[in-house]
Structure 1
Amino acid sequence: MAESYSYVNFRFGNNLDKVRRSRQIISVFFKFGLDYFLDRSRINLITRLRRRRKGYQKLSNAEKLRMAFEELGPTFIKFGQILSTRPDFLPPDYIHELEKLQDAVAPVEFEKIQEVIEKELQKPIPEVFKEFDEIPVASASLSQVHRAVLHNGKVVAVKIQKPDIQYTIELDISILETFANIIENRFPEGPVYHPTATVEELKKTIRKELDFLNEAYNFERFRTNFKEVDYIKIPEVHWDLTTVHLLTMEYIDGIKISEITQEKYRSQFDLQKIAKQAAEALFKQILLDGFFHADPHPGNLFIIPPNTIVMLDVGMTGHLDDQSLISIAKILRAINHRDFDQIVRGLQELGFIMQEVDKIALRHDIKELLDVYADRPYKTVSLARMNQDVMEISIRHKLALPSNFVMMIRAMSIAETIGKQLEPDFNMFEILKPLTRKMYLKLYSPRSWKKRTANMIDASVELIEHLPQNMYDLLEKLKEGQFEIHLEHHRLENLANEIKESSNHISMSLIIAALIIGSSIIVQQKIGPLIANVSLWGILGFVIAAIMGIGLLISSMQRKRRKR
């Protein structure tokens, strides 16, 4: 079996590939009129600008961004898809547009795919497979899937990573990191979430998706979590035929969940039951297992008649640890009791509040949000709309939403959308209530208390064990005068620079004033050599004062320009 995914430091063809690709990316951005956030002085070093096409001027910026990502290929399509899961990064119109990005692309010719398969398995295809379909059943930007039959008769799906895709993606990520730094330097007072953080998240997510062993482990974990749920089916992984770049799993034939509403399929499926079970499965993953499918869009959910749900493409997953689930339980209970202080404390425990916020204003906004939805019938409440309101509050108060929670919110919104497509009267909240009760029972069960008590005892014992040594070290430092307190200031550099510049300007102004006054006295008293009955020293003083005054004026104008 191949080694785990390697984060190679590519040389990118002595940087020539990077320069060419950078030029291509920038040209596409200019083509669609998306150059307003780039530093043209730097761009001109690596590209000649294309003239903007008039046909794109009528499109919205969100549409232009989607079309640019589509033209730039796999990395940017994946980048757009990841951005579409982050409504805390982008406004709703951008999210809606990027959700349209399609991952279906033309397949790679079979000869190249055959080379990858035989390199990964270190055997010719006929030795491993009795049959192997050369035409793929699906093709995406990173991989394509072929149907095959093993020599024991089992039908399998073989997912193969496209050749050289790792190089292409690492090259694009390297360029995106450079662009992100340029944008942050150009807009230093930008939003809470900076471009560099977005690119870093893209890097982590896409590298996970490139590691097919990671997806194989996810399948196994889901199989374990759903082993007692008969209406969920997870493909079985063939580990002896799975590597970092190749995943072999059980082939399951089914219909996409988005297609079962078609008239020709209606008699085969129980739509109401499927909608309910799909939502129950997602809430189980989030609230009970703490491990969930982060991209449960219709293309990743197949249905076998009458109501068996098949989970596919589990490369992108979210995780919630026990402490996070306990904090979520506290927030849900606080919402039920309208305890706004406890809600804020729960958000702090989850890491949403990372800096000083106006807690009074935050409590007020939370109260307003709950008042809007409190007395409505559940049928009239849209979870997607509620999630959008939550995001708006988060952005307004500059709350830091961990990516796992954003993925959780998006997954629930997708589940609600699918549910309403299958059943117009679908109600997510009615399904959520019993799962919430199960979560409480799990988190506060004797077994859970026993586990938490054991952890507390271990932590206390460790603290007591280290306390004497820590106290001794502290006293030794105090005795030797080595005890130091480090104070760290945040964002005071600008203030210090402002004070320094202002002090310099005041000093210069005083010197200029002194020169003018002194020169006036010298001219009046006719001191020193005279020219046309005017003191030469007085004239020289006025000239120096004028030069210094012009310099001070230029410096002030440059300072104002920098502030803008």
Structure 2
Amino acid sequence: MAALDFFRIGHTYRNIGRLRHIVNVFLKHGFGQFLERLNLRRFVPFRRRIRLLRMGRGEAPYCPLPEERTTLAERIRLAFEELGPTFIKFGQILSVRPDLIPRPFIEEFSKLQDEVPPFPVQEARAILEAEWKRPIEQVLASFDEVPVAAASIAQVHRARLLSGEDVVLKIRRPHIETLVAQDVEILRRLAELIDRRIPEMRIFNLTMIVDEFARCIRKEMDFVLEGENAARFRLHFDKNPDAYVPAVFRELSTLKVLVLERIGGIRINDVRRLEKAGFDLTDVARQGVEIAYKMVLEDGFFHADPHPGNLFVLPDGRIGIVDFGIVGRVSEDQQRLFADTFVAFVRKDFGRLVEAYIEMGVVSPETDLARFRREFKRDLEEMIEPIFGRRFRQIPLAEYAQRAIDLAVKYKLQLPRDLYLLNKTMVTIEGLALQLAPDLDLYGLARPFAERLVKKYYSASGMARDAGEEILKIASLVRNAPKRADDMVEKVLKDDLHLNLSHKGLDRFTQEFDRSSNRLSFALIIASIVVGSSIIVLSAKDVTHGYPLLALIGYGAAVALGLWLVIAIMRSGRL
């Protein structure tokens, strides 16, 4: 019955071929027993089903990659790579969520590379003309047919406008939205199936993970949104002497095409070329770090994919930033938490830091707050106290960032996705900076930004602003209290007050009951065939070898179905 779930959704028949491919790729990488538990045998070729039957009898599973040489996380990564763009993106998004999956999977999924062969230039031209609704010769003076980059969602071509500006064209892959929608739908149905049939995996909340992935990848495919992100960064760094963000040509940009000013420079990690060009590596590292601090601590809007391919040192010494598909945001509450962290760090007031987390609303409602205050404070002290008295360059920031994330996972803090993106961003920037200048004083660079942030929230004007906001919240609560009380009374009077109950372990009982009832029904059908065939024997006149032909067919079918039922019961281990 499990596989029939895929036929209950619209447009699913076109998904069956893709689903069959997905199932067989996971089977190839040693997940036969997992697929067996999901009852997806019908999507497996017959010769491979025989191997699944052997697995049910305890024989070794089919796996061309020996499990002693590959970990579970590695086999999943290899399957994602083989399944293409959607699954690669899925793994990459999971790689920044240590609150959702264990660390070995984080490390393995971080190896996924978003590099695929380019699609034909004829298709690129066709997309441009369809989006611009005119021949490209009426827009472009020149068009480089060889892409400079090709990824799972888009590829990039150089071009020159008729007006003379050098630009890059980011063109979305043909039909990628259809493939992504198809894969997301299959992933969602698989997640629901896993929740029902493998209860021990419910702790991962797979349906929520798939829904979040769907939101993320839809944003990445929206080039209008990416253009708006670029324009916002350009506004933030308009007068900044250290950074440059290319201009967006909005009149030529659409959902499928993004047109940006072309900038030329040296990749920020190309040390040899930077030195040859005469750049001061320490100054380059300083600029990169200060740009990141400004995004996070001042603007509250940061580039969440700052790998070396997206950062260039321009001829005038500024750092050029490109690719704005993945961004993160730091809310006012989160910036206030950062300010509280800085103050608590200076004062060694770990109790205040714990209260800041509680006030931020990231602690689960089911948490025992007294126990949380006691144990979380102790863990913070153990993590932070060794830092005091050490030079900042002696502090492994990446290690401490990871330990902070581990604490969040341990206490099930409901941190926003953007904070995990922020962790990855800062670790990446730190790594690049220390690669360029190992003795760079990161603390000295962070201090002015931290002081301005603390002043923003701890100055008289800042505290007055916060007090005003709290007064407005209280006023709103008081103003709406009578209406909320009226709504509750009205629901009681209308018998519209509901109580939600959840039964733990009921799903497994339902599955077992469903399986047993199906077998009982199957046995009754077999018995009915036997009885019907016997009646035919007693009443029929035309016989073959002493028995009616129809009765012989009925007996044969009953024997075959009976044997199949017995084998299924024996394989389940429940005689």
Structure 1 length normalisation: TM-score?
0.79
Asked if residue 424 in structure 1 is aligned to residue 431 in structure 2, the reply is: no
1:214 maps to what in 2?
Answer: 225
CA distance in 2, matches of 1:327, 1:288: 14
Contact 2:144 2:159 in 1 (8 A): yes
Counterpart among 406, 415, 436 of residue 392 in structure 1: 406
Contact 2:159 2:166 in 1 (8 A): yes
Amino acid corresponding to residue 240 of structure 2 in structure 1: V
Instruction: Note closer, same or farther for the CA distance 1:477–1:98 as it changes in structure 2 (3 Å cut).
Output: closer
Instruction: Note closer, same or farther for the CA distance 1:153–1:365 as it changes in structure 2 (3 Å cut).
Output: same
For 1:364-379, list aligned pairs within 5 A: 364-379=378-393
Q: Deviations over 1:289-317 (max 9, x none)?
A: 11111111111111213631111111111
Instruction: Note closer, same or farther for the CA distance 1:95–1:237 as it changes in structure 2 (3 Å cut).
Output: same
2:239 maps to what in 1?
Answer: 228
CA distance in 1, matches of 2:489, 2:380: 49
Q: Partner of 1:268: helix, strand, or coil?
A: coil
Q: Deviations over 1:34-72 (max 9, x none)?
A: 455445452102223484214675123333222221111
Counterpart among 196, 203, 213 of residue 185 in structure 1: 196
Instruction: Note closer, same or farther for the CA distance 1:482–1:153 as it changes in structure 2 (3 Å cut).
Output: closer
Instruction: Note closer, same or farther for the CA distance 1:281–1:39 as it changes in structure 2 (3 Å cut).
Output: farther
Matched residue count? 486
Q: Partner of 1:130: helix, strand, or coil?
A: strand
2:352 maps to what in 1?
Answer: 342
Structure 1 residue 157, shift from structure 2 partner? 0.7
2:3 maps to what in 1?
Answer: none
1:29 maps to what in 2?
Answer: 26
Q: Partner of 1:42: helix, strand, or coil?
A: coil
Asked if residue 300 in structure 1 is aligned to residue 317 in structure 2, the reply is: no
Instruction: Note closer, same or farther for the CA distance 1:427–1:203 as it changes in structure 2 (3 Å cut).
Output: farther
Counterpart among 147, 151, 172 of residue 158 in structure 2: 147
Contact 1:270 1:306 in 2 (8 A): no
Asked if residue 255 in structure 1 is aligned to residue 255 in structure 2, the reply is: no
Instruction: Note closer, same or farther for the CA distance 1:113–1:476 as it changes in structure 2 (3 Å cut).
Output: closer
What RMSD, in angstroms, separates the aligned Cα atoms of the two structures?
3.0
Instruction: Note closer, same or farther for the CA distance 1:492–1:119 as it changes in structure 2 (3 Å cut).
Output: same
Amino acid corresponding to residue 174 of structure 1 in structure 2: E
Counterpart among 265, 283, 287 of residue 273 in structure 1: 283
Instruction: Note closer, same or farther for the CA distance 1:35–1:329 as it changes in structure 2 (3 Å cut).
Output: farther
Structure 2 length normalisation: TM-score?
0.77
CA distance in 1, matches of 2:146, 2:508: 65
User: More deviation in 459-468 or 127-136?
Assistant: 459-468
Percent of matched pairs sharing the same residue: 34
CA distance in 1, matches of 2:139, 2:98: 45
Asked if residue 45 in structure 1 is aligned to residue 55 in structure 2, the reply is: no
CA distance in 2, matches of 1:432, 1:377: 14
Counterpart among 125, 129, 139 of residue 118 in structure 1: 129
Q: Deviations over 1:243-297 (max 9, x none)?
A: 11110010111222122x1267444322111111111111111111111111111
Q: Partner of 1:101: helix, strand, or coil?
A: coil
Q: Deviations over 1:192-242 (max 9, x none)?
A: 542222212211111000000110110111111112211100010001000
CA distance in 2, matches of 1:356, 1:466: 28
For 1:79-90, list aligned pairs within 5 A: 79-90=90-101
Contact 1:334 1:342 in 2 (8 A): yes
CA distance in 1, matches of 2:300, 2:383: 26
CA distance in 2, matches of 1:24, 1:134: 33
Contact 1:37 1:186 in 2 (8 A): no
2:144 maps to what in 1?
Answer: 133
Contact 2:227 2:248 in 1 (8 A): yes
Amino acid corresponding to residue 429 of structure 1 in structure 2: Y
Contact 2:160 2:166 in 1 (8 A): yes
Counterpart among 210, 215, 233 of residue 204 in structure 1: 215
Instruction: Note closer, same or farther for the CA distance 1:165–1:344 as it changes in structure 2 (3 Å cut).
Output: same
CA distance in 1, matches of 2:196, 2:283: 53
Amino acid corresponding to residue 214 of structure 2 in structure 1: K
1:516 maps to what in 2?
Answer: none
Instruction: Note closer, same or farther for the CA distance 1:233–1:373 as it changes in structure 2 (3 Å cut).
Output: same
2:13 maps to what in 1?
Answer: 16
Counterpart among 348, 351, 355 of residue 361 in structure 2: 351
Instruction: Note closer, same or farther for the CA distance 1:365–1:125 as it changes in structure 2 (3 Å cut).
Output: same
Instruction: Note closer, same or farther for the CA distance 1:475–1:39 as it changes in structure 2 (3 Å cut).
Output: closer
Instruction: Note closer, same or farther for the CA distance 1:187–1:274 as it changes in structure 2 (3 Å cut).
Output: farther
For 1:452-463, list aligned pairs within 5 A: 452=466, 455-456=469-470, 458-463=472-477
CA distance in 2, matches of 1:497, 1:99: 35
Q: Partner of 1:274: helix, strand, or coil?
A: helix
Counterpart among 320, 325, 336 of residue 326 in structure 1: 336
Asked if residue 415 in structure 1 is aligned to residue 429 in structure 2, the reply is: yes
Unaligned regions of 5+ residues in structure 2, if any? 1-7, 50-61, 510-572
Q: Partner of 1:131: helix, strand, or coil?
A: strand
Instruction: Note closer, same or farther for the CA distance 1:36–1:371 as it changes in structure 2 (3 Å cut).
Output: farther
Amino acid corresponding to residue 120 of structure 1 in structure 2: E
User: More deviation in 66-75 or 52-61?
Assistant: 52-61
CA distance in 2, matches of 1:336, 1:488: 47
Structure 1 residue 100, shift from structure 2 partner? 2.2
CA distance in 2, matches of 1:466, 1:94: 47
CA distance in 1, matches of 2:24, 2:432: 38
CA distance in 2, matches of 1:12, 1:229: 52
Structure 1 residue 449, shift from structure 2 partner? 5.2
CA distance in 1, matches of 2:333, 2:38: 49
CA distance in 2, matches of 1:245, 1:117: 9
Instruction: Note closer, same or farther for the CA distance 1:124–1:445 as it changes in structure 2 (3 Å cut).
Output: farther
Amino acid corresponding to residue 331 of structure 1 in structure 2: T
2:319 maps to what in 1?
Answer: 309
Structure 1 residue 175, shift from structure 2 partner? 1.0
Instruction: Note closer, same or farther for the CA distance 1:60–1:329 as it changes in structure 2 (3 Å cut).
Output: same
Q: Partner of 2:285: helix, strand, or coil?
A: helix
Q: Partner of 1:119: helix, strand, or coil?
A: helix
User: More deviation in 157-166 or 351-360?
Assistant: 351-360
For 1:276-295, list aligned pairs within 5 A: 276-295=286-305
User: More deviation in 95-104 or 406-415?
Assistant: 95-104
User: More deviation in 458-467 or 235-244?
Assistant: 458-467
1:166 maps to what in 2?
Answer: 177
CA distance in 2, matches of 1:257, 1:56: 39
Contact 1:304 1:310 in 2 (8 A): yes
CA distance in 1, matches of 2:172, 2:496: 54
CA distance in 2, matches of 1:165, 1:282: 32
Structure 1 residue 121, shift from structure 2 partner? 0.8
Asked if residue 243 in structure 1 is aligned to residue 240 in structure 2, the reply is: no
